[in-house]
Amino acid sequence: MMLGLALGETLGAARGSVPDAGPLRAGVATQLACFTAEGVIRAQVRGNHKGICYAPGVVLHAYSRWAYLQGIAVEKMLARWQSPGDRPWPDGWLAGVPALAERRGSAPATVAALSRIDEGEKAMATPSRGAHALTRSLPVAVTGVEGVALVDALAGLTHGDPAARGAAVHAALLTRHCLNHPLPDRTPYAPFDGILGEALDAGLTALPSEARSLSEEEHDRLRAAFREAAEAPADPARLARLAPDATAPSALLGGIYAAASFPRPADLRAALAFAATAPAGDSVACVTGALLGAAHGVEALPTDLVARHELAWVLDTLARDLVLELDDSPSGSEYVQGWDPHWWNRYPGW
């Protein structure tokens, strides 16, 4: 899922056509998704060791590290997070990744909100319904249904529009179904092609019970996008109608349509290329890649593209560490000795 969203954003920003050689650059949505994953790990670490944790605040701290590396509101970030003493800030291994300190596109609502961090969390959010509220929240899907409240809170840190927050929640829940949908018995020579459709159908069926704020109209639109992919797949005009702009609802509707238009693992590259033709191709392809990567697994991703992506190792490490923290807590807890003495330094619990 993490690698799929990154490849999707990269291909989407390039309108589906990347150079034949050389590294593939990450976009700003991928950068922010990395810090979301790291923030979730650090929130889990804090909860295990302190017994209590306000997870949105820990992930806000992660976004603040991204902002500091980007040169955004540096003095405000230092005033908010740097404490007296010898502890360096920003801390954690992710802050040392050079590509995360480079400007890779515009995230106006996120930047505007973080620039007002001194006004407090409740006053930060803009009225935006931009797609970054959704794309950066996708890693929370791995935490399960209980992550819904966290997705809503994380989107609401910077994007105040209810449609953006709702789309972020719905996207995370659908991605969770793609991650968790049971795989049938199969051999490498007979791949099962229906997993994406089954997972999305199951997710759309469960959405009303999992997302209490989902309106009937919103559910109908999501269902219609899925149905249109079966009736008229890969139609550029339909994609442009479903995803006309760079908003979170457009990213989700376009992502569903593009992914469901190319449900076979072998067609993942074609799915990303098609998604990239949307008016805001980077966000639509980002969601498309996340859904397909979650459903089919890393083996379905184009090896030549993954190998060239500059953040492939970072994304893979974060994905593995997120699952490891949720399953096994390598740093232990308040009462249990951990088995990895380096984990706390990698993911300090604050």
pTM of the model: 0.95
Residue 331 confidence (pLDDT): 96
Is residue 344 within 8 Å of 63, Cβ to Cβ?
Answer: no
DSSP 100-148: GGS--S--HHHHHHHTTGGG-HHHH-BS--BTHHHHTTGGGGGG-GGGH
Give the burial class of 185: count Cβ atoms within 10 A of its Cβ; 0-12 exposed, 13-18 middle, 19 or more buried. Answer: exposed
What would the mean pLDDT of 60-76 be, rounded to a whole number? 98
What would the mean pLDDT of 111-133 be, rounded to a whole number? 96
Q: Is residue 238 part of a domain?
A: yes
Helical pair 281-296 and 248-261, crossing angle rounded to 10 deg: 50
Q: Is residue 271 part of a domain?
A: yes
Domain interval for residue 147: 2-16+25-183+193-342
Helix and strand tally (H, E) in the chain?
18, 0
Structure confidence at residue 137 as a pLDDT band (50, 70, 90):
very high
Counting residues of the chain whose pLDDT is more than 70, the rounded percentage is: 97
What would the mean pLDDT of 67-75 be, rounded to a whole number? 97
Cα(5)–Cα(299) distance, rounded to whole angstroms?
15
* pLDDT top residue among 274 and 186: 274
Instruction: Give the total number of structural domains in the chain.
Output: 1
Q: Is residue 92 part of a domain?
A: yes
Q: Is residue 349 part of a domain?
A: no
What would the mean pLDDT of 40-57 be, rounded to a whole number? 95
Long-range pairs for 190-197: beta carbons < 8 A, 24 or more residues apart: 191/264, 191/265, 191/266, 193/263, 193/264, 193/265, 194/263, 195/263, 195/295, 195/296, 196/259, 196/260, 196/263, 196/291, 196/292, 196/295, 196/296, 197/230, 197/260, 197/263
Q: Is residue 347 part of a domain?
A: no
Q: Is residue 188 part of a domain?
A: no
DSSP 332: B
Residue 252 confidence (pLDDT): 98
Residue 192 confidence (pLDDT): 53
Structure confidence at residue 146 as a pLDDT band (50, 70, 90):
confident
Mean pLDDT of the chain, nearest integer: 94
Asked whether the predicted pLDDT for residue 227 surpasses 60, the reply is yes
Per-residue pLDDT reduced to its tens digit, 160-218: 999 999 999 999 999 999 999 876 655 454 445 689 999 999 999 999 999 988 999 99
Give the burial class of 162: count Cβ atoms within 10 A of its Cβ; 0-12 exposed, 13-18 middle, 19 or more buried. Answer: middle
The CATH number of the domain holding residue 100 is: 1.10.4080.10
Residue 184 confidence (pLDDT): 60
- Exposure b/e, 219-252, CB count within 10 A at least 16 = b: bebbeebbebbeeeebbeebbeebbeebbbbbbb
Q: Is residue 127 part of a domain?
A: yes
Is residue 278 within 8 Å of 252, Cβ to Cβ?
Answer: no
Residue 190 confidence (pLDDT): 42
Q: Is residue 350 part of a domain?
A: no
